[in-house]
Structure 1
């Protein structure tokens, strides 16, 4: 048995090691891969492949001490959460894993790691080294979340007042009587909205909450995979996946070309009680107008009937925004401070136009609101322009996280690659 003195020495060494790791994470600039991990980036930026997880890496979270947690869409080798530790060269090693459930959501806040399956939300206590205290004992926060045949993933985020926000995607394209069927009308007073198609709020520290105990914080959102809390104006921002198949289902009203470019993928700034209007409306980026959906009497030319929340910003159609992150670090130049990075997973239904997305965009912000034109920040995850156009991407960006040093991490849910983007030029 170790003496008390020995245990004290070991404990001191562990704390010192944790401090050194944190210092290495915040003070040492790592070298990018010679080819910048295959990415195209603005001048002064570089990238490296941190790790190859081999799983479908969805959202990602990093503790202040630098421990990386990755949520897998499907369990791999009995584990749904992977633990990665950074090395001095900036790469990372998968050191362990836990959680016997797949899913998407992953978030670190106030000494806890939060993770979601498609049905439930859990949390794990972190120690002063950013390590989960007992991986085998997840605390169940919310159980029995609504799951349908599509848009099952449950993305999560926390505010600064002990509230947990969960996306519950609508299990339909446009709430038709016959889903995704030509000419099928919309169901009046869409019943899906009673239990899905919005953001639900729960207490972040209350165990065993049932779905019915949550508050419907915002509604009229078809599906939200990317979301984050904006610290600048203390508000929830989300990225909605816009509806599909305008031409397929309403060929007399929309051409193939219109269906490829409508509707916009929208960023919304939410408050309690917000209604973004799904399934009754969509946003037309060419007209810059909220339009009545064809399932509910629209004809592609008629503005929406009703007072619905307008987008804070709009982006090209069908690019699948799966990650949203407000940048608060100091590594990147000042223009990026408090702006938003968006991971666009990539499209499948822009024909006859080329497929698009498979990149990370940057949206400038000012005073807590989008300000100015968005831009492509990190591109070529797909591998080539030809692979992007055909939708045969090698990698597809999904989750975003900020490292302790201010670098940007990007997960890929195609092959499981974890990327790290750094800035090494003089600011």
Structure 2
């Protein structure tokens, strides 16, 4: 009986917490106060900042480039820089979204505090902005929009609305702790693009019809009010990085490939999508042209687009962006900067670096290291880059969820 009472009490508490969170979202949508008045602030000084600066002395960059600590941001993942250059929002795989402000414009953040503290976020990994200043945050199973977030973030209460209500991004029964960090972008067509990683190492046959229908293991797109949802991309294992070419408007994205096949296969992927509905191989391919053991020997029932670049196996290619700034040398115009988070199950670890990909006039792409040194010769990770974003001055910032930091890379000549 005691167990029953405890269980009932726990369920009532959980229901009350969920109702309170929903009530706060409703209040914010009605421009009403929630009563929350306190922020969580992150100290930007001290020994931790000094140690990270010491680590950065070992990072190798091309001549003329410098790296520095921009901000201490716990669990820093994907980045959305406000179009007005006022504040940068940083998602996490936990429960916080952080607002990062450089008030004196000395290219070092002065303040880091939590955004919309009255709301309960669940894996708010993916923030992104529309050009007209609407902030979207893709969570595990919800998408919210914050109009004028760049101007209202100074208050704990900010206007907030559902784009996709809780439980409607994917079927609730398919919610998983694995491959559940979403990313989003607003495309040249004004639509919202969201990645939906599938939760398995290799998706099993009995799940394929459902996943194809709802877009799990793919990239979906919809109008920014949540209507008109469709599956744009198929055959994705777990993409956690995407961006649109600034001239062609075509979508490029990274994909993390199958584990447990050995140190050197299958390769990771940087993909180039030229039309809606294209298929990129999973689960018949584990990465590149390497077939999965689970589907080996079976006829592939779809036309597969092979990757534009095959990356080193298990380096975990994550966030990426096209460079459109004017600070870097001209060779970097429209190049892709991307983060390799680093391997977790490779005998000899690889990754933990920032890569750059140059795209030729013929559409061919070549990738090479740009910033590296977070992985020591002894196989120890001093940092794990996650995402790359561009600041208004043309420098770039890199997030690191191990160190809990944002780094700024600038070009000073040389």
TM (normalized to structure 2)? 0.77
- The CA deviation at 1:124 is 1.5
Q: 1:307 aligns with which of 298, 303, 306?
A: 303
Are positions 1:158 and 2:221 aligned together?
no
- Number of aligned residues: 347
Aligned equivalents of 2:405 and 2:147: distance in 1? 27
Q: Contact 2:100 / 2:109 at 8 angstroms: preserved in 1? A: no
Of 58, 66, 71 in structure 2, the residue corresponding to residue 46 of structure 1 is: 66
For 2:301 and 2:346, locate their aligned partners in 1 and report how far apart those are by CA, in whole Å. Answer: 27
CA distance in 1: counterparts of 2:56 and 2:207, whole angstroms: 51
Cα separation, 2, equivalents of 1:188 and 1:117: 22
Matched, 1:327 2:323: yes
Matches within 5 A, 1:396-411: 396-411=384-399
Distance in 2, matches of 1:189 and 1:36, equals: 44
Q: 2: CA distance between counterparts of 1:370 and 1:132?
A: 42
Structural mapping, 1:214-253, within 5 Å: 214-246=229-261
Instruction: Identify if the C-alpha distance between structure 1 residues 104 and 189 changes in structure 2 by more than 3 Å, giving closer, same or farther.
Output: closer
1:146-176: CA deviations, max 9, x gaps?
2224101111011122200111111111124
Residue 376 of structure 1: which of 355, 364, 369 is its match?
Answer: 369
1:237-276 pair list within 5 angstroms: 237-246=252-261, 259-270=262-273, 271-276=275-280
Tell me the residue number matched to 2:101. 84
| C-alpha separation in 1, matches of 2:302 and 2:105 | 56
Q: 1:107 aligns with which of 125, 128, 136?
A: 128
Instruction: Identify if the C-alpha distance between structure 1 residues 201 and 188 changes in structure 2 by more than 3 Å, giving closer, same or farther.
Output: closer
Specify the alignment match of 2:158 in structure 1: 136
Which of 383, 401, 414 lines up with 1:395 in the alignment?
383
Which whole-Å CA distance do the structure 1 matches of 2:407 and 2:223 have between them? Answer: 32
- Residues 243 and 321 in structure 2, CA contact (< 8 A), matched pair in contact too: yes
User: 1:194-213 to 2 correspondence within 5 Å?
Assistant: 194-195=213-214, 196-204=216-224, 206=225
CA shift, 1:203, in A, is 0.7
Q: Structure 1 pair 38/70, CA: closer, same or farther in 2 (3 Å)?
A: farther
Structure 2 contact 127–135 (Cα < 8 Å) conserved: yes
Q: Distance in 2 between matches of 1:68 and 1:374?
A: 27
Which of 42, 60, 67 is matched with 2:79 structurally? 60
Alignment check: 8 A CA contact 1:266 1:312 kept: yes
Q: CA deviation at 1:304?
A: 5.7
* Residue of structure 2 in register with 1:292 after alignment: 291
More strand by share: 1
Instruction: Name the CA shift for 1:86/1:61 in 2 (closer, same or farther; >3 Å).
Output: farther
Counterparts of 1:156 and 1:233, CA distance in 2? 19
Cα distance in 2 between the residues matched to 1:155 and 1:88: 28
- In the alignment, the residues of structure 2 paired with residue 292 and residue 34 of structure 1 have an alpha-carbon distance, to the nearest angstrom, of 43
TM-score scaled by structure 1?
0.75
CA contact 2:115–2:153 (8 Å) conserved in 1:
no
| C-alpha distance in 1 between matches for 2:381 and 2:135 | 31
1:422 — aligned with what? 410
